Structure 1
């Protein structure tokens, strides 16, 4: 059986879908990946996956380019003749599903990784695109051999209600989960300083302005509370903060350290006390919260889809309203002033992650979806 994954960026696939990919290879699938090649091709091919380069551009909104991409994907599907195509994120779902219809691919898995800017941003472009794209998303789920995946129940419920997913062919799978053998319980480091960490892409949707303003509040009153920013700008996202803005932020506040891209988060989370994720919305399931929780770290997150799936208020987290810097600053101080609560809620994070979000659970659930599709009539 041939399985083809389709995703815009090779780095995303390698970082976020490695356990699923390995499970598919172990299960005996002939696995290929269609993606824009950057720096991860050799590592992906070393896992036994053939990479098919494709010129995806997440920034492009050109309809002529979109039509060209759809027909180019259809040609690849006709040549490869996959049994299953697995599209990951919105653009591959839209382009790939239309291409699969043209090429008569027998089985389709569409995996959302959050609903993102199209659903949550109110910039003029998204208001124009919604009435064009939403009817297409409704159309592509009508075939009986199309299965839709979501990373949290809020997204699944919304898309089912809006007829962009079919309830009987929908499964909630939390990304690729987290390897709880690699990310292990770690004791809290000594204080001071008390270290908060934000890890992820440096984009507005993640709540960077809220974090910025919260640490402006704490700058003079709580100099022992530090912020580590771990991640890089995302040029493919229209709301990305650029490198200059991030370095200027760190230069203006001595409690903010911009650490950039990190290769070993399993070693870094044990050096911090608290995970921050004050996202505005559009998350699937934040990987940073899974990794932090696996290392027994409590978290502060906004009460939005995706975050509240893993951040349970009063148990392992404090949930705050969106875009509320004062609430974030107060929540940070409540942890920094109470070591017992920080440790207790951190251990609750570890228990939750081990029970519900381990990569072992996730890869089995994904395998079950593939097996269900293989058993369907096409």
Structure 2
């Protein structure tokens, strides 16, 4: 129970600074504005970000986490460093985000015994990856999630989609009483406002995501080549973060090759997402990665853009097939090409789907809703 004479102390434990800024900043600011002292423990890669976090009033701590490494010795070092950091902060609530921080905080609880939340922001490459290394590490990760399960633990496990929640409960990775669903990060519908599509004979298809192979950009390039061979006119704009610390990052040279070939227009990392979406006609994410709820799809729907995405957990939460977009089977290039062709050739359908998408966002995916659901979980744990 925290001392009522001082503000409650919250710690966010997250793997990297840019990910925090993109997906968690608004929730952490709301925690700060509710009167808490807020610490950020994370891998810090960008001094400008740390500077701006400090100006907001967060207390920042560098944590040397190797996101790529599966080496248990290095991980043991990361675990000990995190334990020392958390012990020195003496928090009332810890909020761990993404798999490695989840596992570490679950284990540290045995020493610290502080109420905590784990955010499962999709099952990620560990659960969806097909490589030998991910297949070998998967049983270990499941074992570690199970090891942190105890009857006397005051904690919540927060999922971004219902299917991940069901998977964790059904496979014994957590109990149903502690599992909560909060749909994605939400967006501010006033910021991501509807903008009428530009009328054009060459529609723009936007792909904006972390540049990992598992996000399906390679499949999109294949589908585009086929559609162009059929005489369809369109362009593909690609924007996103090249995540060098991920084991399945797309090399920048590949993007440059595709650009030279005319397969895509490579825009680099774009900060102004509302204007990027406004100039597009269709937004697509042919992902086969373990998503939470992809933020770009919520943003697209909020801006009244029709979507083509894969029929995967997380994508299914925001895209209703035939209503605000089209869902296609993962890794099926023919189906992806067919869905894109349908929307390229049918501006009327795109417009109708865009309007429906906006309604879905206003009802289920507003940032305000996500923030208030998160803050009420914090209150539960504090009491």
TM-score normalized by the length of structure 1: 0.96
Aligned equivalents of 1:129 and 1:330: distance in 2?
A: 36
User: Contact 1:66–1:95 (CA<8 Å) still a contact in 2?
Assistant: no
Matches within 5 A, 1:238-253: 238-252=247-261
Q: Equivalences for 1:155-304 in 2 at 5 Å? A: 155-252=164-261, 254-304=262-312
**CA contact 1:89–1:111 (8 Å) conserved in 2:** yes
Deviates more, 1:291-300 or 1:255-264: 255-264
Q: Does 1:37 align with 2:10?
A: no
- Number of residue-to-residue matches in the alignment: 373
Distance 2:175 2:34 in 1: 27
The one of 309, 313, 322 aligned to 2:321: 313
Give the superposed CA RMSD.
Answer: 1.2
Quickly say closer, same or farther: Cα 1:29–1:175, change in 2 above 3 A.
farther
User: How far apart in 1 are the matches of 2:197 and 2:112?
Assistant: 54
**Equivalent in 21, 27, 33 of residue 14 of structure 1:** 21
Return the alpha-carbon distance in structure 2 between the equivalents of residues 152 and 10 of structure 1: 24
- Deviation string for 1:328-353 (max 9, x for gaps)? 11111111111110000011111101
Contact 1:203 1:234 (C-alpha < 8 Å) held by counterparts: yes
Is the CA contact (8 Å cut-off) linking 2:161 and 2:184 kept in structure 1?
no
Give, in whole Å, the separation in 2 of the partners of 1:35 and 1:367: 21
The DSSP-based 3-state class of the residue aligned with 2:248 is coil
> Which residue does 1:27 correspond to in 2?
34
Name 1:369's counterpart in structure 2: 377
CA distance in structure 2 between the aligned counterparts of 1:346 and 1:289, rounded to whole angstroms: 12
- For 2:270, what is the secondary structure of its paired residue? coil
User: Superposed, which structure 2 residues align to 1:94-173 within 5 Å?
Assistant: 94-104=103-113, 106-142=114-150, 143-173=152-182
Alignment of 1:326-337 (within 5 A): 326-337=334-345
- Describe the superposition over 1:166-210 as per-residue Cα deviations: whole angstroms up to 9, x where unpaired: 111111112321011111011011112201101011111111221
> 1:138: how far off?
1.0
Distance 1:255 1:66, change over 3 A: closer
Name the SS for the 2:56 alignment partner: coil
Specify which of 54, 61, 68 is matched with residue 70 of structure 2: 61
Q: 1:48 aligns to what?
A: 57
Aligned-residue offset at 1:374: 1.3
What SS does the aligned partner of 1:46 have?
A: helix
Distance 2:110 2:284 in 1: 41
Q: Provide, for residues 31-72 of structure 1, a one-character-per-residue CA deviation record: whole Å limited to 9, x for no partner.
A: 000011122111212221111111111111111111111111
Moved more, 329-338 or 219-228: 219-228
Structure 1: how far apart are the matches of 2:148 and 2:382? 19
Q: In the aligned structure 1, how far is the partner of 2:170 from the partner of 2:309? A: 26
Residues 339-358 of structure 1 mapped to structure 2, 5 A cutoff: 339-358=347-366
Q: What is the distance in 2 between the residues matched to 1:285 and 1:168? A: 22
TM-score by length of 2: 0.95
Structure 2: segments with no counterpart, 5+ residues: 1-7
Alpha-carbon separation, structure 1, partners of 2:334 and 2:256: 23
